[in-house]
Structure 1
Amino acid sequence: MAKGTARATIQALTGRLGRAQVVAGITSAATAVVPVDSRGRRWLVHNGSAALAGHGALWLVTGNPMGAEPLMAAAVHSVPDCGAFVITCVGAYAAWKAARVLRGLPGLLGLAVRPAAALGAAFWGQGTAPLITEVMAATAPWSSMLLPLLAAGTLAGICWWALDSRSSAWRAPVRWAARIPLATLALGVGLYAPGGAL
């Protein structure tokens, strides 16, 4: 078995095996290591190896053995600004829709009512960051425990929508690579959560 694996590795590195043969070899090796009937173990190996690959890359780039943990801390500290941005966008959209009932006003007033309402709501929304900070301070320690989950949930949703939801038809190695951001984020939350709870 080891001799065959070494021979196949040398053939793949020297270009004597085609891409399809290399992918088939990787898939059969993964199936041999983690049998098909043990779905839980295969899921754990798939996600665990993706998380370790992403964590290792972050460790290598940042020099921090905690990987994504500092990024999670930065995301939590930016929640007031991100929240104010979301409130600004939602408020502007809601004001635009609500002002539709006034567009029947005569002349220029009817044309300007919707943009004016949207701009007014957006200006109000931009000033909500201090209010969010006060709410976070008033709800401590719950906010310090729940905000990492809120920030991570938003980022995880983006990772899932951008990569995971589209990767089901891709080849196994590419599906694994597409799982790295989401798995790394989950590991970063796990490493950061105890610090946020203390």
Structure 2
Amino acid sequence: MVFQKDLGMALLFFAIFLVMVYIATDRSYFLLLGLGLFSAGTVLMYHIFPHVQNRLSIYLNPLEQMEVGGYQVVQSLFAIGGGGIFGQGFGSGFPTLIPAVHTDFIFSLMAEELGLLGALAIIGIYFILVWKGIQTSLQASDDFGLLMACGFSSILAIQTLIIIGGVTNLIPLTGIPLPFLSYGGSSFISNCFLIGMLSKISAERESAEDLGAVVDAAVD
């Protein structure tokens, strides 16, 4: 992915890898080592790929870089700011003014139409999904279920953080779909599979608890 210049997905998979290694080993030095490798890799990518330098320049000064790629981020920020507290109203935004509105910048349109309150509600829904996934992992009936639930929760959380951080210019923008909202059949199906697997892990835990209760009752 790095050699194909798909650095957004490379970042996503590397972050998930770090989380999984930390959960599996419970050793913080693996996490510190990964963060060190990430920092070194970031510096290396900056010197190898010109478009990484461009992305960083846009992140630092989007208004000054409008003619060389900063237009997307600037329009995104204008749309988010134009939504105010309560938004323009559902369907009353200006999607034609936001580049790639159906993919990378769908959150900007939602913030414009639903406002700050609507945007916070969307973030809250993602938070609840991730939190429920973490709870499922902690209550899993075996280590495999724990790792799987942690991995799925990490995918959802990291994807959301990267793309929302990018369109709000909190971090350099990378092309990653926003789960369940961005256009794309494969992304939607993958995220539905993710939620389905979390539900399956939770159901297996409940089945194991019910079976244990039946056995205890029979013994008594």
The structure, 1 or 2, with the larger RCO (C-alpha pairs under 8 Å, 6+ apart) is: 1
TM-score, normalising length: structure 2:
0.26
